């Protein structure tokens, strides 16, 4: 059973081949696999049965899109003990481990309809990238009021096609994280929305050339 295991993506979503096709539920499961959330929580969030969850995990793992994340003891305890269903009687840590290890491990296996993907070769980027963090910081700095800055940030990104954002691996806005956007279509959409919302042009400072030599 994969109910309390944690899975993480092995590919950056924007690097997936354009011809890659998955079912709606498989795409949703893949996007929810953030390396932090146990499989059973994703299952409940998406309203899946255990059989559907195992089928989806089997296909995603067989295609090299997902891999199980190795956990520390502390992480394991948080994701399996704290989040597990309460037992009819109190259990010690040892008793809990014994009960989970003795549970049935056989599951119905379904052969994936597509061949496993091979890891793409590492290549030197030839296009300039846009720093998502720099874009967000520019919008925030443009507004002296913090609340107005946050609202303007959401306005800019809410005006962009959802599928375009997902295609580039952006499923939520985390103001402290950074992401390098190389998709010209998304770069253009962000720049246009900044012009619409802030009435100013997107600054060149948010772009950089990944292949350029680092200045010392």
Averaged pLDDT in 10-residue chunks for the chain of 216 residues: 80 78 88 87 91 92 87 68 49 56 48 59 66 88 86 88 87 71 90 92 82 51
Tokens 């720093």 label which residue?
131
CATH of 6-101, one of 1.10.10, 1.10.357, 3.20.20, 1.10.3470: 1.10.10
DSSP code string of 17-69 = -TT----HHHHHHHHH-EEEEEHHHHHHHHT--HHHHHHHHHHHHHTTSEEEP
What's the confidence (pLDDT) of residue 122? Answer: 62
What's the confidence (pLDDT) of residue 84? Answer: 45
The pTM (predicted TM-score) of the whole model is 0.39
For residue 8, give every residue at least 6 positions away whose Cβ sits within 8 Å of its Cβ, in sequence order, or none.
33, 34, 35, 66, 67, 69
CB 108 within 8 A of CB 51: yes
What's the confidence (pLDDT) of residue 90? Answer: 57
What's the confidence (pLDDT) of residue 83? Answer: 45
What's the confidence (pLDDT) of residue 104? Answer: 44
51 burial (CB, 10 Å; 0-12 / 13-18 / 19+) is exposed
* CATH 1.10.10, the chain: domain bounds: 6-101
Radius of gyration in angstroms for the set of CA atoms belonging to the chain, rounded to a whole number: 21
What's the confidence (pLDDT) of residue 176? Answer: 60
> How far apart, in whole angstroms, are the C-alpha atoms of residue 78 and residue 98?
17
């Amino acid at each position: 059973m994969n109910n309390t295991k944690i899975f993480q993506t092995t590919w950056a979503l924007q690097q997936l081949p354009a011809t890659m096709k998955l079912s709606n539920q498989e795409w949703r499961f893949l996007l929810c696999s953030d390396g932090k959330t146990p499989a059973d929580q994703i299952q409940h969030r998406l309203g899946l049965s255990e059989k559907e969850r195992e089928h989806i995990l089997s296909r995603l793992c067989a295609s090299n899109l997902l891999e199980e994340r190795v956990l520390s003891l502390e992480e394991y305890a948080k994701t399996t003990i704290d989040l597990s269903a309460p037992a009819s009687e109190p259990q010690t840590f040892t008793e809990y481990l014994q009960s989970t290890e003795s549970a049935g491990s056989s599951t119905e296996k379904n052969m994936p309809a597509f061949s496993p993907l091979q890891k793409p070769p590492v290549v030197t980027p030839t296009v300039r990238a846009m720093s998502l963090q720099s874009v967000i910081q520019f919008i925030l700095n443009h507004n002296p009021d913090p609340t107005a800055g946050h609202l303007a940030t959401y306005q800019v990104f809410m005006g962009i096609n959802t599928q375009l954002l997902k295609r580039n691996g952006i499923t939520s806005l985390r103001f402290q994280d950074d992401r390098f956007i190389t998709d010209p279509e998304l770069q253009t959409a962000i720049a246009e929305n900044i012009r619409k919302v802030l009435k100013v042009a997107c600054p060149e400072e948010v772009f950089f050339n990944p292949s350029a030599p680092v200045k010392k």
